[in-house]
Amino acid sequence: MKKLAVTFLAITAFVTLSTAQDIFEGDTVKNYKLDEITIKSPKELPLVREIPGSISLISERQLESTETNSLSDISSTVPNLFMLDYGSKLQTSVFIRGVGSRLGTPSVGLYVDNVPYFEKASFAFDFFDIERIEVFRGPQGTLYGRNTMGGIINVFSKSPLVYDETNISATAGNYGNYNVNINHYNKIGKNLGYSISGNYLNHNGYFTNEFSGKPADKQYSAGGRGRLIWKLSDKLSLENIASFEISKQFGFPYALRNDSTKQTESVNYDQESYYVRDLFSNGFVVKYENDAFEFISTTSYQYYDGLMSVDQDFTSKKIYFFEIGDKQNMLSQELVLKSLSDSKYKWLFGTFGFYQTMDQETNGNIYAQKIKQEILSDFKISGIAFYHQSTFDDFLIKNLSVTAGVRLDIEKDALDYTFNQAVGEAPFSNLASENYSENFIQFIPKGAIRYSLNKSSNIYTSVSKGYKSGGFNTNTSIVLEEDRSFDAEQSWNYELGFKSSFIDNRLFVDAAVFYIDWKDQQIDVPVPGGRGNMKVNAGESVNKGVELFIKGLIAENLEATFGYGYTHAIFTDYVVSETLNYNENFIPYIPKSSINAGLNKTFIFSNGILDKIDANVNYKGVGEHYWSLDNSIYEDYYGLLDAKLSFVSGKFQFDVWAKNILNTSYYSYYFEISALKNTYAQKGNPATFGANLKINL
């Protein structure tokens, strides 16, 4: 696959050279330019080149041309961003620069239309009606607080004050992939607009459960979004965005693996497994602005109700079966006040508060011992934060900008834990009823310096603190009381970067190097002698690496992108016992490198049936990464080649697309069950292809 990457880049270079002559006419350069890169995040400066940090923007056009339908589809398209594929919406683990968490509370934040998504069980939702995605790499705790040690992802849907149309789209592909989407945007005058969108998805699955003969990963989902924007005046606006999704996935495509041969058996387990989830989010936003400042109030609510029924031994034998139900209610309120004037001093003040309840009920069967278990875990988490950021332009000398910020984060976590067990026909007896509570208080500072070399180029350096609160383990196999909780983790991130536009804004380059000093990292390890996993704190770790993103307009309607990320993430002080330590071992689940290269060409027709043809080819490479702490189990480098061809005629658009065209074989997930001494793996998705039809009314 490395040869494929080289081939792809060679083709890109050839196309570049062969079309470069189109840029020049004699000694005159044609006026082909990239659009100025701007962001929508209300807490940042509007221009990417003015922000002293690493940012990636995925536009609506890119989302469409790369057939991006979920958050997991952007894995490796952004330098040093990687997501594990569990084959279930229960967990969507995101790693940025090697910072992330496999299970439990995320270390990378997610906001959708300004609504915070606190739990990974809500991260996996179907994309429709999406305008753009913004990825901020590095700790964002000063402005965003908890769960943003690795960075933050902002997802924005389309505004009815910008779009005024109705469109219907349908997709059909192999493996029973069907999708129907309807969007209606209505702009009523200049000050009022609303939108209504609906989506239905069906997928018959890639893998078959040999025991039942049924698909091991069949799924379907239905969702909708409603948005209302009302500008009461030129200064005051109200907005409400509500969305929901119901989904069901049948089974998990996990198979026994032979670690010596790196081969898996067929998916083969005897008890039907599934995951169902209802998800609802609502955000109410009030904005007021004048010439001097902008005030934003965001009130958000999120609810999800999920149930996982799983044959937890994933074999044809009847060993374990568990049902785990989760219900979350989360309410948050954020107030932001920031300056808008052209003054050389820019400021921002904010406060954020939240209250979250999460009720978890686990019912399990351990058949050999005729044991039934019932675990009730009721979490109550609340917090409040106050933050400020100041930016001084032309500080001491011209073109030098200095940014400083700080956040006071206060959080309280509480757990009511009940463990009941029955043996044989005996009634349940209580084995444990405990109440746990922990308070976390943290100052999260940030500092950055940016120097403008000219109007289109600057260099910057930044120092920022990352922080993630501790928590509690609820696994019933835990014996030691000290393993019931884990401590907070924190990091210091040092970054040096360069951003510039060249050749009269036809080429954009973004490069950065970073160093992360990470303490008390929360990692997932198997429960000794038991089932499942628990979180523990590893002493110290160091992540360091580089990032490069290049975007160029090679010729009229011909655009090329290239992204590369390298992360060297190791434990520097992780001693388990006198005879076991993982010092100098690579941290699991973190690819050493990520590569993304793409070409997009649009052919315009002035006469005939077609208005244009849009062609896109994209290559993603995922570097070697380890599955185990001792680094004995790992995944080799692999690359995926995708392509899409779109034909546009008037109000109609017809697409043909393919993903993993070369049917590259790889594993997307690996784990072990220590009690059974078994290891398991999930294969990556095979080659898929399909067609879309879209109608704009």
Q: Is the pLDDT of residue 183 over 90?
A: yes
Predicted local distance difference test score (pLDDT) of residue 34: 57
- Beta strands 638-649 and 612-622: pairing type? antiparallel
- 64: helix, strand or coil: helix
Q: What string of H, E and C letters represents the secondary structure of 617-683?
A: EEEEEECCEECCCCCCCEECCEEEEEEEEEEEECCEEEEEEEECCCCCCCEEEEEEECCCCEEEEEE
Predicted local distance difference test score (pLDDT) of residue 6: 43
Helix or strand run (H / E) with residue 594: strand 593-604
Token pair of 54, please? 């690493």
Predicted local distance difference test score (pLDDT) of residue 45: 66
pLDDT digits over 199-249, tens only?
Answer: 999 999 999 999 999 998 999 999 999 999 999 999 999 999 999 999 999
User: How many Cβ atoms sit within 10 Å of the Cβ of residue 655?
Assistant: 21
Token pair of 158, please? 């389309």
Report d(CA 151, CA 144) in Å as an integer: 9
Q: How confident is the model at residue 12 (pLDDT cuts 50, 70, 90)?
A: very low
pLDDT: is 193 or 16 the higher one? 193
Helix or strand run (H / E) with residue 11: helix 2-20
Strand partners for 446: 405, 464
- 13: helix, strand or coil: helix
Report d(CA 291, CA 294) in Å as an integer: 8
Token pair of 64, please? 């469409």
Sheet with 151-157: list strands edge to edge.
54-59, 130-137, 151-157, 108-112, 115-117
Contacts of residue 589, defined as CB under 8 A and 6 or more positions apart, other chains included, come to 82, 84, 93, 95, 100, 102, 625, 626, 627
* Dihedrals phi, psi of 49, to nearest 5 degrees: -65, -15
Token pair of 561, please? 């992108």
Q: Is the pLDDT of residue 611 over 80?
A: yes
Token pair of 374, please? 């019932």
Report d(CA 551, CA 172) in Å as an integer: 32
| Residue in the structure block whose two tokens are 């770790």 | 541
Q: How confident is the model at residue 31 (pLDDT cuts 50, 70, 90)?
A: very low
Report d(CA 84, CA 72) in Å as an integer: 8
pLDDT digits over 251-292, tens only?
Answer: 889 999 998 888 899 999 999 999 999 999 999 999 999 999
Of 150-159, 321-330, 666-675, least confident by mean pLDDT is 666-675
Token pair of 98, please? 């090697």
User: How many Cβ atoms sit within 10 Å of the Cβ of residue 430?
Assistant: 10
pLDDT digits over 630-644, tens only?
Answer: 999 999 999 999 999
Mean pLDDT in the chain? 89
* Dihedrals phi, psi of 13, to nearest 5 degrees: -65, -40
One-letter amino acid at 128 equals F
- 189: helix, strand or coil: coil
CATH placement of domain 2-696: 2.40.170.20
Alpha-carbon distances, residue 560 vs 19, 194, 634 (angstroms) = 12, 35, 32
Which spans in 197-252 are helix H? Answer: none
pLDDT digits over 427-458, tens only?
Answer: 999 988 888 899 999 999 999 999 999 888 99
* Dihedrals phi, psi of 35, to nearest 5 degrees: -70, 150
Question: What is the residue extent of each domain of the chain?
Answer: 2-696
One-letter amino acid at 220 equals Y
Helix or strand run (H / E) with residue 4: helix 2-20
Q: Is the pLDDT of residue 21 over 60?
A: no
Alpha-carbon distances, residue 162 vs 57, 75, 156, 167 (angstroms) = 19, 29, 13, 15
Q: What is the mean pLDDT of residues 395-421?
A: 93
Helix or strand run (H / E) with residue 63: helix 60-65
Q: What is the DSSP letter of 470?
A: -
Q: Is the pLDDT of residue 383 over 90?
A: yes
- Beta strands 108-112 and 151-157: pairing type? parallel
pLDDT digits over 343-357, tens only?
Answer: 899 999 999 999 999
Per-residue buried b or exposed e for 192-219, using 16+ beta carbons within 10 Å of the residue's own CB: ebbbbbbbbbebbbbbbbebbeebbbbb
Sheet with 678-683: list strands edge to edge.
263-264, 255-258, 678-683, 667-673
Report d(CA 123, CA 437) in Å as an integer: 27
User: How many Cβ atoms sit within 10 Å of the Cβ of residue 247?
Assistant: 20
Report d(CA 522, CA 104) in Å as an integer: 10
Q: Is the pLDDT of residue 32 over 60?
A: no
Per-residue buried b or exposed e for 112-137, using 16+ beta carbons within 10 Å of the residue's own CB: bbbbbbbbbbbbbbbbbbbbbbbbbb
Predicted local distance difference test score (pLDDT) of residue 7: 42
DSSP string, 85-147: --SSTT---EEETTB--SSSS-SEEEEETTEEE-SGGGT-----SEEEEEEEES--HHHH-TT
N- to C-terminal Cα separation, the chain:
43
Q: Is the pLDDT of residue 603 over 60?
A: yes
Q: How confident is the model at residue 423 (pLDDT cuts 50, 70, 90)?
A: very high
Predicted local distance difference test score (pLDDT) of residue 598: 94
Q: Is the pLDDT of residue 492 over 80?
A: yes
| Cα-only R_g, the chain | 26
Q: Is the pLDDT of residue 555 over 90?
A: no
Report d(CA 159, CA 181) in Å as an integer: 17
Token pair of 15, please? 């196309």
451 and 401 Cβ atoms separated by less than 8 Å? yes
234 and 192 Cβ atoms separated by less than 8 Å? no
Report d(CA 593, CA 564) in Å as an integer: 7
628 and 588 Cβ atoms separated by less than 8 Å? yes
Helix or strand run (H / E) with residue 578: none
Q: How confident is the model at residue 479 (pLDDT cuts 50, 70, 90)?
A: low
Q: What is the mean pLDDT of residues 27-34?
A: 46
| Residue in the structure block whose two tokens are 């792809």 | 8
Contacts of residue 140, defined as CB under 8 A and 6 or more positions apart, other chains included, come to 109, 148, 151, 152, 464
Predicted local distance difference test score (pLDDT) of residue 504: 83
Report d(CA 356, CA 302) in Å as an integer: 9
C-alpha dihedral, 645 to 648 to 652 to 655, nearest 10°: 0
Token pair of 480, please? 């030691």
644 and 66 Cβ atoms separated by less than 8 Å? yes
Q: Is the pTM of this model over 0.85?
A: yes
Report d(CA 447, CA 299) in Å as an integer: 29
pLDDT digits over 44-61, tens only?
Answer: 766 777 788 889 989 888
* Dihedrals phi, psi of 142, to nearest 5 degrees: -60, -40
